[in-house]
Structure 1
């Protein structure tokens, strides 16, 4: 036996020294592992009561011993009883609508616990404009989306992550190409020719770069009380991006990995195979049955199973003086279309330090490097129209060159697989952003701030068509290169004054800003390149004259704001902005904007105290003006073009290019908003907003007659109105110790109307599918009206309108398309490209360590012009193109008496039946299961054994299911007038979105 002192840890967590007498063998083993003795003290019972700040008892409150599954809930009187092993236990007290509280139990036997209200996270501080404020005290309409809500869908572009997450924020994409981000329209488009994209503000300054993995939260500012301080550029709303900052704690290292694959969605759309096409064409075109020996699925050749990788590592921490956040990200997403992908690298470093008790500094750096392989070689077009009768590969497995294959039947004689062997298009860009922000507390009430940013951006694009391909064959090879160099300098200097006197609170803000942007762009193209030589130095001639231009644009702004409140019940805010911009004419280069807001928190009134049903209530209103300046640089100036075509006697010559307008100025938007926020039973939260937004002095690129020598001039012309209703509803259906269920629904209704056009004109752009006409929606289609198929002979029919001398209009049916192209017979269809409403719907469940979420987004009431059907649903016009399989319920005319949706197919087409008309307008409404995610958080005790503090694994799927009547590959089209891929409301050879399946593992050291 051997005596020795041992360090002993008991179950209660107490450490003591004990003199024990042990056998020698046991004495040796005692040094191999700690000795734990069972705490033999008897359990004791603790009793307590949980109340609200208003001293009301709270039933159903969950009390759990931290780190264990032991716990209880309060009864109807807020009382609870709990047996504990001994002193030192930590109780976690939580209840819906209240801030969670932790209490350490010492020797007391009773507890009186008071929980503070946390309705809807209303005590959360959100960034609005140039300041931050608790959500419960805002007088404006905003939507805040936290990081955890953004990261369900997998994308490296923020607009894609915002889709369906906030009412009134309409996100849409005309393409599934990962190199093309979606577009955003907030509360409807209120412009004709100017941009509709919102203004981005990153970490307190306009513009800036960021990566979604580093985003802490996004705040969308929608009404003028929120957007007003960004005056001249806030007409389309403001999206404020706040990146992650370090916290005063031990350093944490987090690693997040996502891997998966994607497949193109095809919806209801299906192209014919060889047998189907042969059977169809045989009814009107003599095909040799020998063509059936080949059955190429060009769609499958063009699309692939693509892979997605997203890897991020970050470190954060700090002390009372200095905090830091550092992050690196690698993202690679292959497009489902072959030879198309995006690779991105991102590095961020955020440092905040307190030099003295008065001076605080932040240095924020972000760098992005992106490589894109862009769509090239008509791959998508060929996937839609190439005939299945034509082979993709020869007997040796090499791609066939359609130009020289004797049996090629397709109209374009192109095999994109052969082109992809040699052709390419790619882009590279490097963007950096550096912020230096200083806050100096001059007194306890006055703070001086200087926020400064410099952005640098360089981008290069190269497109090469080898002479061995169809695209490069005509010019012996073609090469196009372009480069952009841009940088922006911004300095925002601010003074804040805060005063509190009794129940009165006043905050004053003044700011002066200066911003200058510099841009330079150059491009050159050449031809006659030897095969495989993709450098400009070997080109034997130019394709077009080299282009090179440089620009400098300046903004200067002064603003002031006063924010007053009384007793946390009544709130008033007012602001004024004066801004100058070199974008506008010398006669109107500056403009003034003002904003007013007010709110009343009814639930803080004495008559509402203790109301257990209506636990929070606030009404708010705003009114004011903002502007739109998103036009090309120098739109107001008279410009000349110096080009080879204008040269004379070998000397440079200039010709008129753009007519100047010294009176050009901002679009001005007068906006009002009325909203309410309520919470019922601390369980159901509802926000409702109604708004009216009137735009006037619209920026419009007005066409000019050729005799003027100019193509157009920028003018201020017309007025547009947007009215709408938005709501956001969150219900915490079940909240238990182990199981919870939360539901969210947001919807937005918007109605658009053109009130006036320049000079009293009735229509701008007559003859277009989407003209602009007074009294109509900006997205309303104006087309010849399709009247179906004549059952007697299978001819197409349209409505023809004939005006009479007495002003009456006679409607007849005609099979002559040219007769309905006239202004008299083109009709407004009362069908619009803009939706009647949009929104999102989600359910989130959690059980112990498991979580399950399902998120839907939806669009209703918009009409899509399916322009692709011109090619593959053309009634025989293009027998050298493939055709689509008829959708359910469609039929072709075959014999007299048939009631059919499609005319009789005829070689060369049936009387222009595929020309532009309402025939190709389709209902674009859809409901999409945007994301499903199943996650599991590994118990802390398990991961701590391997040195981790947290670990989570998940399975996720994007775009699993879409319910729609649309017959194309995908009903989602761009809802912005600035759209690619055919424009607003048009689906043309759609690159469909992808269905993604992903696995992820995240852990923190």
Structure 2
């Protein structure tokens, strides 16, 4: 009996000891990465309802079974987990959520998500790739960095805004630019140049329907989401001071170098019979010069400077980022420049466990001067037609500043810049404020409001002292003000079931309106350079006023599901109402479905060591296009009138016919792709996309008997399909040495599926561009066969019965030119199908080098400049390119140019391959060792560097610049290259 009792007591003791071994007290402290205690951190046993919180000193204590996982969560910090082992004390460090932004992205409203778990297709460019670049516009830094995103800068003006397109051209006449969102508030693309790129923490490009459909009617062309910098938690502020100085020049000058010098042109005139030896001898005697006019009309080594200062930091509850910047860049053409001063203050604070506030204030003033001679002007891009033996300097070396240059009958570009002063002053203001309330666990209510505001004034004068119009100066003042207001309200709720099933539901409402007002006044008869205000004009008065507005009201929702961090689903729905359409068509509904499968977590791949990560993504959904941000799209659904004068009395007339059935362009987009990481080094992203656009917004012709020539309608269908990929390889990645090459590639195949009124094609007058069903947007031009070797005239192919098909029958040619009769499909695409880039990022013990090339393949331009530069038959008295020396002289000659005196025509010989490879960015610098700086107990970091932009360009294009995004080039202000030297100190 005693033995049984002893056995029972011993067994009970063992069972009791086992029970106590399975659950024990665990305690510890939670700190920030800087060593500060974190209060109110939620500590939960994974898969259970056991939960506690840290006290004011960051201490915690909780009962937890051995082998279980503890999850530490706090607003503003990255989640941290530990597996409980034998120890009973655990010290936990939480990283600030903003310290690793590569892990978190914003996908459109609601909470940010881990980038690998995001369902949609996106690409993110970080601050490192954006800041300290020698360009006023941050979008320039995206060129070639994002697969499928085409970014072209078409002008050398420092204030130029690049053209941006994603995955092809999704509309024919409607807007093709993405929607720009700045910290949750939509802004215009023109506002980006007024902001300081160094304030940007990241730029995320949302590509597929799953990522963009929640933005609805303005997201058909993708979304570019800009996130500005925030302060980090810590007890010490961080101060960054940066200074940069540099210079700019033409990015390339091959077009100018191809022009003849004095000796070459004089010899050509002799060979062609245009001049006699006696005439040439007289020219050589009277004008013994050889002027390179490019150096006279385009400035060299024009200065650029930029100064930046920012302060960031915060406590556990409040974070701040404050910055100011000054940017000043001259253009290479006269009266061209950009001067910008900005100020930003971003503050977020957590009042308590359930209320968080934020206020971002960004403002600035910039002054812009743009050269006016950029379209077939002899004072601009065509200035190099000037005969090289003339000179802008007299025999004493004095410039003909206020006298016309002998032989040219032109004034100096400096003189014109001085006598025609013009400046646009723009004030930009972009405030954003939000309040976020979490009244119960996992429920977040958020309201956010913001503005995109500009106030610009343009002052233009022709001074009375201008010699060609003495004492008759002109004055013009123009004012524009525009403001876009957006308010967004969302409610978000999260469920977590046993740490396996996680659901997030979001619902929201958004209202956006835009109003723009403007007026101008001008007059002539200004008589004194000292009295040039508008009121001093004495005659030829004119005034004008404009006003436009539109509004959107939207409701949207999203449901996201995460199964055990393996499979992620996303569904969105949005309804938009727009004032741009009639009452019957004001509303439209857009939707999307998407999935992200983490295949690596499956059992059949979990133990494959060489495969670090593999995710398969797919999505399908719709979005819309309401015609872009231009005011021309407003009020098109209703008939409108315009006022005028008739017989000295007020009158009005019909302006727009109106179309009450007008509605959105509608797009259906599907994507499928994968993200993979191999050997922990090689990263590969690939996706295939298909974009179907219907109900295209197009101006279609109607009978003139209606009183109108066209009406805006929803017609036609367009398809873009293709694929994008990005590859990067971390060959080396150690504290002393790193080496990472990368490549991006994007391909688009475009096809017009349907036009209007049963037409198979439509030619856009005076553009050389046409729409043909079954083909991409193409160039339609007369096609040149070449120079007839028998008589030295041009031969052109005669189109076949169907001019939508290219006909190059050598037996069906003509020497009688007619643009209308000979135009046919050249088979040359208007838009480049291939765009991308490649680069190298490397460094060794503080020395760092970053280089990035961008490319565009299959890009073509109508080189309208060549019509002047290589057309001696029509412009014999002007300088010409060296190529015209290859001209026909006698029967049997096979040449590029006809016999002298035969004029060149507007045909496909002007369509040139403008594909290019460009060294977009290059940076070489040195980061001082932290060990050395640590001794000062003052500096945190210091670096010196050189950075360049557009340093090298490789292209066959004979014009000024291949990057111009247009169907033709007409004396444009060409792109520039910059070299900057800078240093940065961090305190």
Is the 8 Å Cα contact of residues 181 and 224 (structure 2) preserved in structure 1? yes
Secondary structure of the residue aligned to 2:273 is coil
Taking the aligned partners of 2:198 and 2:866, their CA distance within structure 1 comes to 40
Matched-pair contact (CA < 8 Å) for 2:178–2:219: yes
Q: Which residue of 2 aligns with 1:625?
A: 622
Matched residue, 2:417: 420
One of 203, 208, 222 as aligned partner of 1:223:
208
User: Are the counterparts in 2 of residues 768 and 782 from structure 1 also a CA contact under 8 Å?
Assistant: no
Please give the alpha-carbon distance, in whole angstroms, between the structure 2 residues aligned to 1:138 and 1:446: 20
Are the structure 2 counterparts of residues 253 and 122 from structure 1 closer, same or farther at C-alpha, using a change threshold of 3 Å? closer
Q: How does 1:327-338 map to 2 (within 5 A)?
A: 327-338=323-334
Q: Give the conservation status (yes or no) of the 8 Å contact 1:685–1:731.
A: yes
SS in structure 2 opposite 1:692?
Answer: strand
Shift, 1:892, TM fit: 2.7
**Which has a greater percent of helix?**
2
1:873 aligns to what?
A: 870
Runs (5+) with no aligned partner, structure 1: 1-98, 975-983
Is 1:247 paired with 2:248?
A: no
Deviations 1:336-393, CA, capped at 9 Å, x for gaps: 1123110011100000111121100000000021101110355324533222233323
Aligned counterpart, 1:289: 281
Cross-structure match for 2:923: 933
Normalising by the residue count of structure 2, what TM-score does the alignment of the two structures yield?
Answer: 0.84
Residue 139 of structure 1: CA displacement?
Answer: 1.6
CA distance in 2, matches of 1:128, 1:803: 52
TM-score when scaled to structure 1? 0.82
1:123, distance to aligned residue in structure 2 (A)? 7.1
Tell me the residue number matched to 2:17: none
Asked if 1:796 is matched to 2:794, the reply is: yes
1:657 aligns with 2:655: yes
The residue correspondences of 1:269-284 to structure 2 (distance < 5 A) are 269=255, 270=257, 271-282=259-270, 283-284=272-273
**Secondary structure at 2:963 match in 1:** coil
| Contact residue 691 and residue 724 of structure 1 kept, 8 A | yes
CA distance in structure 1 between the partners assigned to 2:757 and 2:679 by the alignment: 56
- The change in CA–CA distance for 1:770 and 1:128 in structure 2 (over 3 A counts) is farther
Matches within 5 A, 1:69-84: none
Structure 1 residue 895: deviation in Å?
3.1
| In structure 1, C-alpha distance between the alignment counterparts of 2:492 and 2:672, rounded to whole Å | 28
Alignment of 1:824-903 (within 5 A): 825-886=822-883, 891-903=886-898
Residue correspondence of structure 1 range 358-507 to structure 2 within 5 A: 358-376=354-372, 379-394=379-394, 399-400=399-400, 407-408=406-407, 410=408, 413-469=410-466, 473=469, 476-502=472-498, 503-507=500-504
Q: 2:107 aligns with which of 128, 133, 143?
A: 128
Distance of 1:822 and 1:373 partners within structure 2: 40
Secondary structure at 1:765's aligned position in 2?
strand
Alignment correspondent of 1:8: none
Question: How far apart, CA to CA, are the structure 2 residues paired with 1:455 and 1:932?
Answer: 33
**Is this contact kept in 1: 2:514–2:549, CA < 8 A?**
yes
| Structure 2 unaligned regions, length at least 5 | 1-77
**Distance 1:488-1:808 versus aligned 2 partners, 3 A rule:** closer
Q: Distance in 2 between matches of 1:777 and 1:480?
A: 47
- 3-state SS, counterpart of residue 260 of structure 1: strand
Q: What residue in structure 2 maps to residue 261 of structure 1?
A: 247
C-alpha distance 948-123 of structure 1, shift in aligned 2 (>3 A) = closer
- Range with greater deviation from structure 2 (878-887 or 788-797): 878-887
Q: How much has 1:768 moved relative to structure 2? A: 4.3
Aligned partners of 1:330 and 1:345 also within 8 Å: yes
Q: Could you say which residue in structure 1 is the equivalent of 2:342?
A: 346
Aligned partners of 1:142 and 1:222 also within 8 Å? yes
TM-aligned CA deviation for residue 415 of structure 1:
4.0
Q: Provide, for residues 668-695 of structure 1, a one-character-per-residue CA deviation record: whole Å limited to 9, x for no partner.
A: 1111000111111111010101000011
1:483 CA drift (Å)? 0.9
Distance 1:803 1:522, change over 3 A: same
Alpha-carbon distance between aligned partners in 1 of 2:218 and 2:768, rounded to the nearest angstrom: 26
Task: Report the RMSD for the aligned CA atoms in angstroms.
Answer: 3.0
Measure, in 1, the Cα distance between the counterparts of 2:868 and 2:794: 17
Aligned residue among 215, 233, 236 for 2:218: 233
Distance 1:475 1:573 in 2: 70
**What is the aligned counterpart of 1:972 among 944, 955, 963?**
963
- For the pair 1:597 / 2:594, whether they are aligned, the reply is yes
SS state of the match for residue 798, structure 2? strand
The SS at the match of 2:430 is strand
Residue 181 of structure 1 aligns with which residue?
161
Query: 1:769, CA displacement in angstroms?
Result: 4.2
Deviations 1:2-54 (A, max 9, x none): xxxxxxxxxxxxxxxxxxxxxxxxxxxxxxxxxxxxxxxxxxxxxxxxxxxxx
Instruction: Check whether the contact 1:375–1:425 (CA below 8 A) recurs between aligned residues.
Output: no
Q: Residue 554 of structure 2 is aligned with which of 552, 557, 565?
A: 557
User: Using a 3 Å threshold, how does the CA distance of structure 1 residues 612 and 714 change in structure 2: closer, same or farther?
Assistant: same
Match of 1:608 among 600, 605, 610: 605
Cα deviations by residue, 1:738-786 (Å, 9 ceiling, x for unpaired): 2211011010000111110122222233554444423254531111001
1:479 CA drift (Å): 3.0
Separation (CA, whole Å) in 2 of partners of 1:830 and 1:526: 50
Residue 150 of structure 1 pairs with residue 130 of structure 2: yes
CA–CA distance in 1 between the matches of 2:461 and 2:929? Answer: 54
Rounded to whole Å, the distance in 2 between the matches of 1:848 and 1:789 is 62
CA distance change for structure 1 residues 736 and 404 in 2, over 3 Å: closer, same or farther? closer
In the alignment, which residue of structure 2 is the partner of 1:728?
726
Residues 471 and 527 of structure 2 are in contact (CA less than 8 Å); yes or no, is this contact kept in structure 1? no
Distance across 1 between alignment mates of 2:161 and 2:326: 18
